Amino acid sequence: MKKFLVKPGSKVNLSKWDPNDNGGFKGGKEKGLAEIEKLNSKLESLQEMLFAEHKHKVLIVLQAMDTGGKDGAIRRVFDGVNPAGVRVASFKAPTPEELDHDFLWRIHKQAPGKGEMVIFNRSHYEDVLVVRVHNYVPPEVWGKRFDQINQFERALAENGTTILKFYLHIDKDEQKERFQARLDDPTKRWKFRLGDLEERKFWPDYIKAFEDVLSKTSTEHAPWYIVPANRKWFRDLLISTVLVNTLEALKMSYPESEDNLDGIVIE
């Protein structure tokens, strides 16, 4: 999986990353789906242990172009985990109260506590993506935010948070197909907005913005993974594999039970 890790300090050119890559996985979609099932079972157990041990904190950041598959990845990868210890935080346009504070204020409030796993569906990176593309703030403002984000994530890591960041990489043709599929399916048409077509016109600007994000904010304590996401099954397989491997490396264990429980029979 290291193939998809953005090495800290490297310069990312997304044209060199194939969104159809399957990492050399043998067996195709059918075998991939079976492997995801196995990984999901492991993730359920690891998440229960994370919650019970109440020591580690886990933050998962998902970013993508429109239709990149953030919602689908959340549904598939985290299927079956205990909702008591897992939650999803989504970040829309900031409220007036949030705009009165620094851009990280609303983000920090959603950071995970001990024993908790939090998934950011979009994140603080919107403040160096959409605000940049649409010139909501000048370059001298958003340009400083890369260092501020790195400092923020370092502070979280130094206080016990494990951070994993995934950029779900699709190409423009795949986005076209997914938009059309939404329009053609009455049960999914509600997801489509005419404004999506306007945003699509900014594709090159968003790609450049994402390249800067990946280049400037992949660090040892908060790495980015570029996930080939044209194939949904491989997207989910890669995220699941990285997540399970990372949690296993934490060497977690269940807390000790109370003394004198041996021999107790519930009547």
Per-residue pLDDT tens digits for 122-154: 999 999 999 999 999 999 999 999 999 999 999
Task: Give the pLDDT confidence score for residue 55 in this predicted structure.
Answer: 96
- The pTM is what? 0.95
Please say if the pLDDT value at position 262 is more than 90.
Answer: no
Per-residue pLDDT tens digits for 227-238: 999 999 999 999
Task: Give the pLDDT confidence score for residue 169 in this predicted structure.
Answer: 98
Q: Which CATH superfamily is domain 2-249 in?
A: P-loop containing nucleotide triphosphate hydrolases (3.40.50.300)
Please say if the pLDDT value at position 1 is more than 90.
Answer: no
> What whole-number distance in Å separates Cα of residue 87 and Cα of residue 70?
14
> What whole-number distance in Å separates Cα of residue 195 and Cα of residue 193?
5
Task: Give the pLDDT confidence score for residue 27 in this predicted structure.
Answer: 84
Task: Give the pLDDT confidence score for residue 261 in this predicted structure.
Answer: 75
Per-residue pLDDT tens digits for 44-60: 999 999 999 999 999 99
Region 228-251: mean pLDDT is 97
Task: Tell me the domain boundaries of the chain.
Answer: 2-249
Task: Give the pLDDT confidence score for residue 159 in this predicted structure.
Answer: 97
Per-residue pLDDT tens digits for 155-187: 999 999 999 999 999 999 999 999 999 999 999
Three-state helix/strand/coil letters over the chain:
CHHHECCCCCCCCHHHCCCCCCCCCCCHHHHHHHHHHHHHHHHHHHHHHHHHHCCCEEEEEEEECCCCCHHHHHHHHCCCCCCCCEEEEECCCCCHHHHCCCCCHHHHCCCCCCCCEEEEECCHHHHHCHHHHCCCCCHHHHCCHHHHHHHHHHHHHHCCEEEEEEEEECCHHHHHHHHHHHHHCCCCHHHCCHHHHHHHCCHHHHHHHHHHHHHHHCCCCCCEEEEECCCHHHHHHHHHHHHHHHHHHCCCCCCCCCCCCCCCCCC
